[in-house]
Homo-oligomer: A and B are copies of this chain.
Amino acid sequence: MAMDDEVPGAMGTSASFALRLGQTIFSAASLLFMSLGVEFHSYTAFCFLVTITGLVIPWSITLALIDIYSVLIHCPFRQRGILLFIVLGDWALSFLTLAAASSIAGIVDALHRADATFCPAGLCSRYQISAGLAFLSWFLSMASSLSNLWLLPSLTR
Interface residues of A (CB under 8 A from B): 1-3, 42-45, 95, 98-100, 102-107, 109-111, 113-115, 118, 149-150, 153-154, 156-157
Contacts and interface: CB of A to CB of B under 8 A. Distances in A.
A63 B44 CA distance: 37
Contacts of A104: 106
Contact of A156 (B2, B95, B99, B110): B2
Copies in the complex: 2
Contact of A44 (B95, B98, B109, B154): B109
A106 to B, nearest CB: 3
Contact of A114 (B103, B111, B153, B154): B111
A18 to B, nearest CB: 22
A1 B154 CA distance: 12
A118 B107 CA distance: 13
Contacts of A43: 106, 109-110, 113
A3 B153 contact: yes
Contacts of A115: 114-115
